[in-house]
Amino acid sequence: MPHRQDVHPEDAGRDRANRRGAYLAYNKSIATDAAKEFPSSVTCKTAHSFAYGRLPAVRPRLNGPRIPARQARSSSA
């Protein structure tokens, strides 16, 4: 089992004024609450929103029209 290290918001800001960090939360409500507690240098997001923001090339496809599987299968052949 991997070692779990919990980070307390007060510890995150201590002696690290010029350092950045990321806090990945399980859901949006946890990320929103964490953003209120952590210093502004810490980015608080869900894992999905963090990944989505890092994929600018894929974003147009994700926001594009939905294509049924049978249609996608026939167009790729």
Decide if pLDDT at 11 tops 90: no
Task: Give the pLDDT mean for 5-24.
Answer: 68
Q: What is the DSSP string of 37-54?
A: HS-TTEEEEEHHHHHHHT
pLDDT tier, 17 (very low <50, low <70, confident <90, very high otherwise): low
Q: Which of 7, 32, 33 is nearest to 21 (CA)?
A: 7
**Residue owning tokens 């939360």:** 25
Determine the pLDDT at residue 10. 62
User: pLDDT, tens digit, for every residue of 34-73?
Assistant: 999 999 899 999 988 888 777 776 677 777 788 888 887 7
Domain ranges of the chain: 9-55
Decide if pLDDT at 15 tops 90: no
